Amino acid sequence: MSQPRSSTLWLRLAAPLLLFVVAGSIGIALWLHAAARRESRTVFATLARTSADFIRNAKLPANERVAESIGRVQNMEVLFLRGAGGEFVPAPSAALTPHAGLLGALTPAEGIVSAGAEFEVIAVPMEKEVSMIFVRRVEPVVGFLFKPETLLVLAVFWVFSVGLAWALARGLVRPLRLLAQRLPHIQDDAEASLPGAERNDEIGQVARAYLDTRAQLGAERARRERSERLAILGRMATGLAHEIHNPLSAIRMHAQLIDSAPAAEQPGVLRDSLPVLLGETAKIEGLVNQWMFLARPAPPQTAPADLAEIVARVVRALAPQAAHARVQIAHDLPPGLRASVDARRITQAVGNIVINAIQAMPSGGTLAITGWRGDSVRLIFRDTGSGFSPAALAQHTELFFSEKEGGMGIGLSVTAEILKAHRGALVVANAPEGGAVVTVQLPLLVEKSEIRISKSETNSKNE
């Protein structure tokens, strides 16, 4: 299952912060604009009353010239209104004409009044039936937000906010991403440290928890491996004792026969018992070799060897056991079937396969051993037994797997490990006509003479 990209977390952390910054900065700008407008309205009302007092105290006439002079000084439009709904001096500008009705009905008691979205007006009493109207242009909120100065300030603030959001998100996402990458491999993680473990925040707690968990898993794995090794050794010791019991009983029985026979009959008894003693001793030696290979699987000491000779030696050694089980062994291997192997280990592997085949035919049968040389060297063992069960086909290389009563279940497992150490393979199958087929594959050995012949053939072709 694919994992979500870490950029998703980055966006989840940064996006709300950026949205908050944008909305907050706009809200602050609007609040400052409203506060400034309230302040300016106070100043506007004060200026209007101060200007009216000045005109009144100076006893200036309420004419157009005075209105224009005050308007230029105050940067406003100033009008004199004679009577409610009376005459304006001077006449309102074109921009104020639509609001003439509002201006005519304005009274000093109303204070500052908005005239549309662009103007604010205030009426100040001058003398009987004369009032002075001050009009100033105000900036709409939208216009304030889109002013170049406002946009520049907001843009700079937002850029710094993006940088801050990236730094904060990266400080959280990067250690989490590293932790997520290493978490699936926690059992095999050999690095002593983890970035972020030195932090004093929650990220540091998570990193230190990872390191503690890894240490606990390592200790638990070591304990489990020790327990498994002890369990394996226990099973091996039990199986080995069981397997050695019968050969030892046979050796003891024949030794007692030799010891109890009269002196005149001892040569004949010894002659009859000696093959049995040697055969049973060979069984014990083979079992010990299996045990030693599992306990200390040393690398193979390879040298060129003739596989036909190895097979012949194994067949001769196991001939008494095959004869006792009424199994005929036929081996027909082509000449030149050579490979670079550890002869002792390959002899052990071939012996395991032959013994398994003999034991698979308790009522007798035939074991045919053939060879083939191509891109690799192969030994094929075909028997006429019942073949492998589905479970045996799937688990034949598992240690201690055996379907035979009293079997140790280490023969084919050891054989597979021996061939693997030789860069070869063990393949098991069932023949269509019945019986098991076991194939030993080993790398091809190219002799020096073959290299010389190949070079001479190449040279002759080039000529």
- Whole-angstrom Cα distance, residue 420 to residue 427? 12
37 & 95 share domain: yes
250 & 315 share domain: no
102 & 14 share domain: yes
181, part of any domain:
no
326 & 245 share domain: no
266 & 304 share domain: no
Strand order in the sheet with 425-430: 327-332, 365-373, 376-383, 436-443, 425-430
- Whole-angstrom Cα distance, residue 80 to residue 124? 10
What's residue 454's pLDDT?
Answer: 47
CATH number, domain at 275? 1.10.287
Tokens at 447, concatenated: 């002799």
- Whole-angstrom Cα distance, residue 291 to residue 402? 16
72, part of any domain:
yes
318 & 444 share domain: yes
DSSP structure string for 289-340: HHHHHHH--PPP--EEEEHHHHHHHHHHHHHHHHHHTTEEEEEE--TT-EEE
163, part of any domain:
no
174, part of any domain:
no
30 & 138 share domain: yes
Strand partners, 372: 378
Provide the whole-model pTM: 0.45
Q: CA 260 → CA 17, 268, 269, 270, 428, distances in Å?
A: 100, 13, 10, 11, 48
260 & 359 share domain: no
Structural domain tally of the chain? 3
What's residue 134's pLDDT?
Answer: 94
- Whole-angstrom Cα distance, residue 68 to residue 14? 56
321 close to 355: Cβ distance less than 8 angstroms: yes
Return the number of other C-beta atoms located less than 10 Å from residue 246's C-beta: 13
- Whole-angstrom Cα distance, residue 329 to residue 311? 11
What's residue 455's pLDDT?
Answer: 46
- The residue among 117, 71, 65, 106 whose CA lies nearest residue 89 is 65
Distance of CA 301 to the CA centre of its chain: 40
Return the number of other C-beta atoms located less than 10 Å from residue 164's C-beta: 14
Peptide bond into 184 cis (omega under 30): no
The pair phi, psi for residue 74, each rounded to 5°, is -90, 0
269, part of any domain:
yes
**Residue 411: which domain range?**
300-450
244 & 139 share domain: no
428 & 306 share domain: yes
- Residue 186 neighbours by CB under 8 Å, 6+ apart: 210, 213, 214, 217
Domain end call among 287, 312, 346: 287
- Whole-angstrom Cα distance, residue 241 to residue 233? 12
Domain end call among 114, 145, 176: 145
255 & 373 share domain: no
CATH number, domain at 15? 3.30.450
340 & 422 share domain: yes
206, part of any domain:
no
CATH number, domain at 311? 3.30.565.10
- The residue among 171, 232, 229 whose CA lies nearest residue 202 is 171
Domain end call among 122, 145, 168: 145
What does each of the 463 residues of the chain score in pLDDT, given as a tens digit? 444 444 565 666 667 777 887 888 888 878 887 888 888 889 989 999 999 999 888 888 889 999 999 999 888 999 998 876 678 889 888 888 888 888 888 888 888 998 888 899 999 988 778 889 999 988 777 666 777 887 788 788 888 777 777 777 666 666 767 776 676 656 666 666 666 666 676 667 777 776 777 777 777 777 887 777 666 666 666 656 655 665 777 777 777 777 777 777 777 767 777 777 776 776 677 666 666 656 566 677 888 999 999 999 989 888 888 888 899 999 888 887 888 988 888 888 898 889 888 888 888 999 999 998 888 899 999 999 888 888 777 766 666 656 565 455 567 778 888 888 889 988 888 988 888 899 999 988 765 544 444 445 545 555 5
Instruction: End-to-end CA distance of the chain: give it in Å, rounded.
Output: 60
47, part of any domain:
yes
Distance of CA 298 to the CA centre of its chain: 35
SS3 category, 47: helix
Tokens at 301, concatenated: 């000491």
405, part of any domain:
yes
